Structure 1
Amino acid sequence: MTEPPEPRRRGRPPEPRAPKEPRYPPLPWAAERAQLRARARHSPPIALLLGSPEQAAVPGGSDLVPRTVDQLRLELTADQVKATRADRDHRERFDYEVHAANSARGLASDWLNWLAFCLHFDRVVLPSAFDDVADFIDILIAAGRRKATLQHHLWSITHMNWRCHCPDPMDGKNAQLWWRDRVRRKLSGEQKQAKPFGFGAVEQATAWLRDPERPRPGRRAKAKDREVVDAAQRRRDLRDAALINTAYDLMMRSAELVSAEWDRITVEPNGSGTYRFGKTKTDQEGIGLIRYLRPETVQDLAAWRAVAGPSPFVFHAVREHDADHEPRPVPDAITDAADRERVRWPPLTTQEVGVIFRRAARLAGVSVAHLSGHSTRVGGAQDMVEAGATDAEVQQAGRWKDPRMPAKYAAHPEARRAGERRFRKLQRLRPAEDPDR
């Protein structure tokens, strides 16, 4: 009996790619981390330990309660367990979370690293000892982790010990001196900065996207589907032009951009507009701020809205045959109104923002490399500095709480302007040329 032929693969065959080099060397506990992450979906004790370590600690009646959950060592006293359980019950009773969603995800990732380290080297998870924390950080340093990453891990470990009413392993003169030494001798505070997507590049990219006569790169499609594919691409270009201009005008974070809603936009009689922010990273209470939109941006938003469909979110995926105009089914298990809306009308992801920036720049011939979802934010800050805005004005426009971030973004134009002023003044020291020579 002959075997059936393999199904023919549709589309262009994938191009062979060299394996991508890992950014960092693997950590010694990589296998344990993968094991814990996989088993968290099936083992309730592990899942609880990853999310709330106090829930996995069950007292046995003695003063010191050693407990191993899948070989993870917890040595919480009965009083510590009682106090952490009381905190948990209080949160459940009054229905509140300790952290915002993004902070909780970062904390969980750091905590998973700590659990894997303790499992690999057979160390006590809680209470965390300074000797174990120092070994953990030294291994991360040897693996090339940066200062900001290490600081976040230290905060996560300290925070989890605080939640379980354990002493802070980094509290004390010796711990502070140890960390200061590591920063001085082995770490650098320098961080990579997103490349700017400034005003000139934004105008060039959006002008290209608006023009339907520009030649687009062809997409493989059957003859009967060509019209549908081209129509979807035209809608996608309108969306991208509106997205890039909106991101630049409002100096939005990528998470704020993909969460933008139509009912927050107001069009003024003169053709300009405003956008009303809700809850953001620096406004967790949702007091709200109103920011300006240029007339060009309002026009791009209007052109996109005419074909965008009924989604309440401004920016979403564009699918052929207008498939993005149809709501998706929402599972009954999702009860929160905002979560149900996101499932019914899924917006873009933050990763797709950088992809859109890079695609538009490449098609329009803009020579900007390595754009990310925050590149318009960086470009907006630098353009304001070039135009003579003060650091306070840049901070207010970008909605930063800390003046260090706008100062960091503006470092390059500030350095250039300071250097030009300096050498203009130095020109005065040159002797005047003799007119008779």
Structure 2
Amino acid sequence: MSELVPLPEAVRVALSERPRSVLIDTAALARVRERFDDTQAQALGKYLEESQSPNTLRAYRSDWIGWAAWCAREGRQALPADPLDLAVFLAAAAEARTEDGGRWAFAPSTLERKAAAVAAVHAANGLSSPTRADVVRLTLRGIRRSRRAQPKRKRPVLLHTLTELLAQLPEPGWPTEPARRRDALVLLVGFAGALRRSELATISLDDVDVQTDPGTGEPVLVIRLPVTKTDPTGAHQQQVVLPRGQRPDTCPVCAHVGWTELLEFATHDEMRTHASEHREQPTVHRCHSFQGTALSDGTGRPLFPSVSKHGRIAATAMSGRAVAELVKRYASKAGLDPDLFSGHSLRAGFATQAALGGASDREIMRQGRWTNPRTVHRYIRVANPLEDNAVTKLGL
């Protein structure tokens, strides 16, 4: 169940006439067009849309549709909203169940996001937010207090799990070779880089540099993250460094070499011929002399594009949701329950495996770009619940 009520036709038509983002004041843009030319107005609209991440816009738009649909059914006004109407809407949504009646349809965090979406649309249109009213704030507080539950965390992909997932990659050859090489790199970079699924989806070939480890003389991958959950504008220029792996099949640098080698072919036929002639999987490292790829040419080509079942590589990047589905798909192939895994399993797996390997809090936080030690400590408790536990000193 994704919406509280079906979307009425009148609301559907009205929404189709709005811009992609619900956070744009269309009336203000109309006034801009009266004073400035179309080019200037389009530039303003473009950067207003870019003010929020695509995931936030997608979620807010979905939430606004649900609110507008409810208002249409109940004969209420969505914009500007009456705080009491919004409180009743949130309370009704909190009581909604899934179609099978077994679970709540919306978590408290989802309801808070719905309220935030309504507030954001009001702010974008120069209106005061109904969420500031006591009736809305107290309703959300009551929902949180009455619906306390332990968050259901997805299972981390540990090193042995990662090996199982990699073992399920397609056989070498055509037309599965592009997906095999890309998917191997997704899993290895997501795990070793402690990356979120949204971060993986935004990396371009221009964001990957090849440098040399002064200690070993081996190449390392330096991946700049254009935007992250905690740095949505890229102001802090966050990056992760991935060294050579111990084995070729778990080496992120080797996986990058293999993937970019395929991408460098100019035509689909050349790519297919190469894949057909090189069906043997390398048993030695391929990254010793790797100096980078000419594809890092400033054009912003995605590192992880979509790949069809016929081996055709798209010009557009795979989505964050596709990354999560990839992890679930390989978990299922490995005989694991896909519902226990998600895109976050790679990031959680890094932190847990690093803690098991004896990495310090500082080392884990640096690679995962965590700023709150309590977040890292949750992973450490999963890895070794008795570490620094005073009960071990009781002599029981």
Normalised to the residue count of structure 2, the TM-score between the two structures is 0.71
Aligned to 1:163: 124
Counterpart check, 1:200 vs 2:160: yes
CA contact (8 A) 2:193 2:240 kept: yes
Alignment correspondent of 1:315: 304
1:270-314 deviation per Cα after TM superposition (whole angstroms, max 9, x unaligned): 143322222333223324233221311111221222223457322
- In structure 2, what is the equivalent of residue 293 of structure 1? 242
Look up the equivalent residue of 1:281 and give its one-letter code.
K
Residues 126, 365 of structure 1: CA spacing in aligned structure 2 closer, same or farther, 3 A cutoff?
Answer: closer
Matched residue type, 1:191: P
Separation (CA, whole Å) in 2 of partners of 1:164 and 1:119:
20
Spell out the pairing of 1:13-92 with structure 2 (5 A cutoff). Answer: 23=1, 27=4, 29-32=5-8, 36-37=11-12, 40-41=15-16, 44=17, 47=18, 51=22, 54-55=25-26, 92=41
Give the Å deviation of 1:366. 6.2
C-alpha spacing 1:321/1:207, structure 2 compared with 1 (3 Å): closer
Task: Name the residue aligned to 2:286.
Answer: none
Moved more, 173-182 or 187-196: 173-182
1:105 maps to which residue?
A: 58
What does the per-residue CA deviation read over 1:326-383, in whole Å, with 9 as the maximum and x for residues that have no partner?
xxxxxxxxxxxxxxxxxx7123233332333234344456677632222101111222
Residue-by-residue CA offset, 1:152-202 (whole Å, 9 max, x unaligned): 1111222222333333323255543443233222x2364332221112221
Match of 1:413?
A: 383
Per-residue CA deviation, residues 387-411 of structure 1 (Å, 9 max, x unaligned), is 3445554343222455565455555
| 1:170 counterpart SS class | helix
Note the C-alpha offset of 1:125: 1.9
Partner Cα separation in structure 1 for residue 197 and residue 116 of structure 2? 25
8 Å contact kept, 1:83–1:164: no
User: Which aligned pairs between 1:1-400 and structure 2 lie closer than 5 A?
Assistant: 23=1, 27=4, 29-32=5-8, 36-37=11-12, 40-41=15-16, 44=17, 47=18, 51=22, 54-55=25-26, 92=41, 95=44, 96-97=47-48, 98-143=51-96, 144=104, 145-173=106-134, 175-185=136-146, 187-188=147-148, 190-206=150-166, 209=169, 230-263=173-206, 264-268=208-212, 269-286=217-234, 287-295=236-244, 296-309=251-264, 312-319=301-308, 323-324=312-313, 345-364=315-334, 370-391=340-361, 393-400=363-370
Answer whether contact 2:91 2:139 (CA < 8 A) is retained: no
**Residues 7, 66 of structure 2: 8 Å contact kept:** no
State how far apart, in whole Å, the 2-side matches of 1:88 and 1:158 are.
28
2:280: which partner in 1? none
Amino acid at match of 2:256: L
Query: Matched residues in 1 for 2:52 and 2:91: separation?
Result: 28
Change (3 A) 1:374 1:52: closer
Task: Assess, with a 3 A threshold, how the Cα gap between structure 1 residues 93 and 233 changes in structure 2: closer, same or farther.
Answer: closer
CA distance, structure 1, for counterparts of residue 19 and residue 263 of structure 2:
42
Q: Determine if contact 1:198/1:380 at 8 Å carries over to the other structure.
A: yes
Moved more, 375-384 or 300-309: 300-309
CA RMSD of aligned residues (A): 3.7
Q: Which amino acid aligns with 2:131?
A: M
Greater relative CO, 1 or 2 (CA 8 Å, sep 6+):
2
**Counterpart for residue 435 of structure 1:** none
When Rg is computed on C-alpha atoms for both structures, the one with the higher figure is: 1
Alpha-carbon distance change, 314 to 113 in structure 1, aligned in 2, over 3 angstroms: same
> Aligned equivalents of 1:417 and 1:178: distance in 2?
40
Identity %: 22
Length-normalised TM-score, structure 1: 0.65
Unaligned ranges ≥5, structure 2: 97-103, 245-250, 266-294, 296-300
Whole-angstrom CA distance in 1 between matches of 2:129 and 2:327: 44
Residue 166 of structure 1 aligns to a residue whose secondary structure is coil
